[in-house]
Structure 1
Amino acid sequence: MATVNLDRVSKVYSNGHIGVAEASFDIADGELLVLVGPSGCGKTTLLRMIAGLESISSGTLSIDGRVVNDVSPKDRDIAMVFQNYALYPHMTVAENLAFGLRLRGKSKTEIDRRVLEAAKQLELEQRLGSLPAALSGGQRQRVALGRALVREPKVFLLDEPLSNLDAKLRLSMRVEIARLHRQLGATMIYVTHDQVEAMTLGQRIVVLNGGEIQQIDTPMRLYDKPANLFVAGFLGSPAMNLLCGTLRHGHGWQLDTTQGEVPLGPLDAQTPELLAWIDREVVIGVRPEDLRPTSETNASLHAVLEVTEPVGNEIFLNLRRGEQSLVSRVPPGALPETGSVMHFELALDRLHVFDPLSGARIA
C-alpha cells in the first residue's frame, strides 16, 4: 500500500470558480479516509484530482513520496470504484474482473488467481459465469469492488459507491467495505455525502464545504468537538440544536434569547474561554441527546411538542420554542401527548459555544 500527501492542492476552473481551495492533508499507509460534505463541496473533484482524471491548478500531490501532478492515471497505481458500477453488460462477472488485468498484459495464470481470490473475498464464486443483468444491486457493486481489488493497487479510490443501493444494501455493503479494509490493510479514500457512511467507515474524516476543508479528525472527535457551526450542523442526525442569544454572567451563566432566558449553570470548566464573550452574541449548540426531558417546571428550557417520531430503539421529539424548532432524542417509552408543553434540562458539560459571525468554536 502507500501514503498520499496533498500540499495546498487547488482546482480553479477557467471561469474563475474555485472547486478546491488549497487542500493539505496526509493519508497514512493503510488508512481509510473519508471525504464528506454537501453536493458541490469539492469532494469528488478532489478525488478525481488524486486519480488523475482532473488536472491540478496548483499545489503538490504525492503518492508514496512520488510527485504525480503530471503523471497519467494509468501510471499512478490507483484503482477507482465509481457510483454507477461501470460494468460491461456483455461480459460475465469473471470477464469483468479480468478485463483490466488483460489490458495490462498479465498472464492467464496470474489473472485466474487474482479473479478467484477476489471472488472468494466478495462471495461471488457462484456468480462468475453470470452477466451483470442477472445480478442484484449489491452483487454488481461487489463486482465493481472486485475489479479494483484484482488490480492490487497502491491506493483505492471510492466515489459514492453505495448511493444507488437501498438502505438495507447500503448497510451490508458498508460492513463489507470495512471488512475488506481490515483484511487488506489497504489505503482507501472514500467519498460520500452520507454522514452515516462517513462516521461508520472513516478512521479519519475530511469535512468540506464550498471547496474548503472545514475540519479533519476522527469521527467521534468531529461529533464531540466540531470546529465550527458548519461541522456542528452537518454531522449528526438529527442535527445539533442551535440557540442564539446574548451571553450573560451573574449568579451563574445565562443565555438571553428572544424566547426567554436559558440558565447555563456555572460552566466552570469553560469559564476562561467565555469571559471575553460576556454581553456578546453567541450560539449555543446542544445535541438532541443532550436536551433531556424533566418533570421540573423550573427547568432550563420549555417547548411545545409538535411531532413524535418513534423509531424503535429511540424516540425523536420535534419541538417548537417560539419561532425555533428543536429536537430531543430520548429512550423508548410512553409517548408524550402532542401539543403539550415539555420541560428540558441541558447537559451542561456537553454544550458547544460558537461565534455567530465567523462560525468558529469558542468553547
Structure 2
Amino acid sequence: MAGVQLEEVRKVYRNGQVAVHGASFEVAEGELMVLVGPSGCGKSTLLRMIAGLEEISAGTLRIGGRVVNDVAPKDRDIAMVFQSYALYPHMTVAENLAFGLKLRGMPRADVERRVAEAAAMLGLEGMLGKRPREMSGGQRQRVALGRALVREPAVFLLDEPLSNLDAKLRHSTRTEIARLHQRLGATMVYVTHDQVEAMTLGQRIVVLDAGRIQQIDTPMALYERPANLFVAGFLGSPAMNVLEGELQAADGLRLVLDGQGDVPLPGADVPDAWLGRRVALGVRPEHLLPAGEGLQARVDVVEPVGSEAFLHLDFGGRPLVSRLPPQKLPEPGAQLRLRADPAHLHFFDPSDGVRLAA
C-alpha cells in the first residue's frame, strides 16, 4: 500500500493539444480517490500517466514517495483494471488469475494461495474451471478485479471498470468494489464519467473539465458547496437548477430575471454588496418545492420513479426540475407555485462561474 502524489503534472501531445493542465493532488495510503468528469476531460489520461502507459510531459509523479516519471509500468508496483475485461479467452478463470504471478516466477504454492484467496473474496470459487465465454459480464469483471487483486500491488488503478455492465450489475459490482476496498484498505484511483459511481464510491473526488481540476473534496462537500457552475451542474441527478438575473431588495429580496419575471427569495440572507449585481442562482431540485407563494411555473412532464418523483417545469421558457417525495402529483399543464429553500441557495458569478462567498 502506498500513496500517490502528483505535482503540476501536464500532458501535451505532439500536435500541441494539452490534455492535462498542471494537475496537483495527493492520494493518501489506503484512500479510494475517484477522478470524474465528462468524456475528453483528461481523467483516463491522468490514470494512464500514473500507470506509466502515457508519458508525462511535465511535473512530478510519486508513488510511495518515489519519483516514477521514468520508471517502467512493470516496476511501479501497480495493478490496473480496464474498461474491457481483457481476459485470455482460452484460459480458465484460475489460469487468468494466476497468469501474471507465473510470469513473475512466483512459487506455485504462493500462486495457488493468492488465487484461492482472491476467488473467495470475489465469490469465484465455483467458477475457477470456467472460461470467460461461459460467464456473465459481471462475473468476467470480477475475474478482471481478481487478476489485479492477486498481484497485491501498492496501488490499484481502475479505468471505468463498470461501463460495460447493465444497470443492475453496475450497482452490485460497485458494492463489491466498495466492500473490497474496506476489506483491503488498499490505495485505489478510480476513473468514471458516472457521477453516481463517483459519489457512492469515492472517499474524495477530483472533478475535471477540459484537462483542468475544478474541485477536490468529499462527495457531500462537493454536492453541498460546489466551487463553480460546472461542478454544480455535473454532480447531482437531476442537475442543479440555475437562473441568472439581478439581486434586488425592493419588496423583499428577489432575483429579477432578464426579460420578464422574478424569483422571490424570502428568508434568504445575502451581503448588501451583492444587491444590484448580476448573479447565477443555483437551487437543487429537492430544494425547489411547491408552496403557497413563490415563482409560478407550468408542469411539463411528471416522472414518478417509486420512491420519489421529478416534475419538469417551464418557468417563462426556462426549464426547472423539482424533486418530490411520493404524493399526489399534479397533472402536466397544471400551474404550480414553488419556493426555493432559503437555507440551500447557491450564488455564482455568471461571468466566470465561480461560487460567491459571503
TM-score range, shorter chain: over 0.9
Is the Cα–Cα contact under 8 Å of residues 318 and 328 in structure 1 kept in the other structure? yes
Q: Is residue 336 of structure 1 aligned with residue 333 of structure 2? A: no
Query: 1:79 is paired with a residue of what secondary structure?
Result: strand
Query: 2:265 is paired with a residue of what secondary structure?
Result: strand
| C-alpha distance in structure 2 between counterparts of 1:289 and 1:259, whole Å | 25
| C-alpha distance in structure 2 between counterparts of 1:23 and 1:154, whole Å | 21
| C-alpha distance in structure 2 between counterparts of 1:4 and 1:68, whole Å | 10
Q: Which runs of 5+ in 2 are unaligned?
A: none
Q: How many residues align?
A: 356
Q: 1:138 Cα shift?
A: 0.5
Query: 1:300 is paired with a residue of what secondary structure?
Result: strand
Residue in 1 that maps onto 2:19: 19
The Cα offsets for residues 217-272 of structure 1, whole Å up to 9 and x where unpaired, read as: 0000000000000000000000000011111123532110134121212433xx33
Residue in 2 that maps onto 1:250: 250
Query: 2:311 is paired with a residue of what secondary structure?
Result: strand
Q: Percent identity?
A: 67
The Cα offsets for residues 283-325 of structure 1, whole Å up to 9 and x where unpaired, read as: 000000000112x1xx221100010000000000000011101
Residue in 2 that maps onto 1:75: 75
Residue in 2 that maps onto 1:313: 307
| C-alpha distance in structure 2 between counterparts of 1:89 and 1:259, whole Å | 63
Q: 1:277 Cα shift?
A: 2.7
Q: 1:198 Cα shift?
A: 0.2
Residue in 2 that maps onto 1:276: 273
Residue in 2 that maps onto 1:199: 199
| C-alpha distance in structure 1 between counterparts of 2:71 and 2:250, whole Å | 63
Residue in 2 that maps onto 1:150: 150
> Partner amino acid for 2:315?
R
Is the Cα–Cα contact under 8 Å of residues 259 and 321 in structure 1 kept in the other structure? no
| C-alpha distance in structure 1 between counterparts of 2:260 and 2:335, whole Å | 14
Residue in 1 that maps onto 2:289: 292
Query: 1:246 is paired with a residue of what secondary structure?
Result: strand
Is the Cα–Cα contact under 8 Å of residues 11 and 19 in structure 2 kept in the other structure? yes
| C-alpha distance in structure 1 between counterparts of 2:74 and 2:331, whole Å | 62
| C-alpha distance in structure 2 between counterparts of 1:183 and 1:21, whole Å | 35
| C-alpha distance in structure 2 between counterparts of 1:58 and 1:249, whole Å | 50
TM-score (norm 2): 0.98
TM-score (norm 1): 0.97
Residue in 1 that maps onto 2:261: 260
| C-alpha distance in structure 2 between counterparts of 1:266 and 1:81, whole Å | 50
Alpha-carbon RMSD: 0.9
The Cα offsets for residues 182-241 of structure 1, whole Å up to 9 and x where unpaired, read as: 000000000000000000000000000000000000000000000000000000000000
| C-alpha distance in structure 2 between counterparts of 1:288 and 1:16, whole Å | 41
Q: 1:334 Cα shift?
A: 1.3
Is the Cα–Cα contact under 8 Å of residues 252 and 266 in structure 1 kept in the other structure? no
1:110-189 superposed matches below 5 A: 110-189=110-189
> Partner amino acid for 1:336?
P
Is the Cα–Cα contact under 8 Å of residues 8 and 24 in structure 1 kept in the other structure? yes
